[in-house]
Amino acid sequence: MKNSDAAIALSALAHDKRLEIFRLLVKRGPEGYAAGVIAGKLGIPAPTLSFHIKELDRAGLVGARQDGRFIHYSANFVAMRKLVDFLTDHCCSLADESCTTDCLPAAQPARRKRA
């Protein structure tokens, strides 16, 4: 990931409502939510939600898919992982002592078992 791409993604997440939308979509997983459901869950008017989703989409952090009359939005987990990897790349590389676990994520998410 280039610095400019990371800056665009971080800028998109630097707004409290966009961060709230993105976190909701991350919690939901690949299935995502229809725009109306997102608006209802977060109490955001449709035009405002559309504006924020557009910014997240421009940053590559969300994707959309048509399902009949509805558009479902979901987090782009590949882009999210690239951003986290970019932020932690070379962690502790300039430290005087060997890198500790401070660079590692605090907790790994539980993986669902698929049937």
Contact 65/55 with Cβ under 8 angstroms?
Answer: no
User: Backbone phi, then psi, for 112, in 5-degree steps?
Assistant: -80, 140
CATH topology of domain 3-89: Arc Repressor Mutant, subunit A (1.10.10)
d(CA 55, CA 16) in angstroms, rounded, equals 13
pLDDT digits (tens, 9 = 90+) for 42-77: 999 999 999 999 999 999 999 999 989 999 999 999
Tell me: pLDDT of 108 over 80. no
Domain boundaries, the chain: 3-89
What pLDDT score was predicted for residue 106?
56
**What mean pLDDT comes out for the span 102-114?**
59
Residue 104 above 70 pLDDT?
no
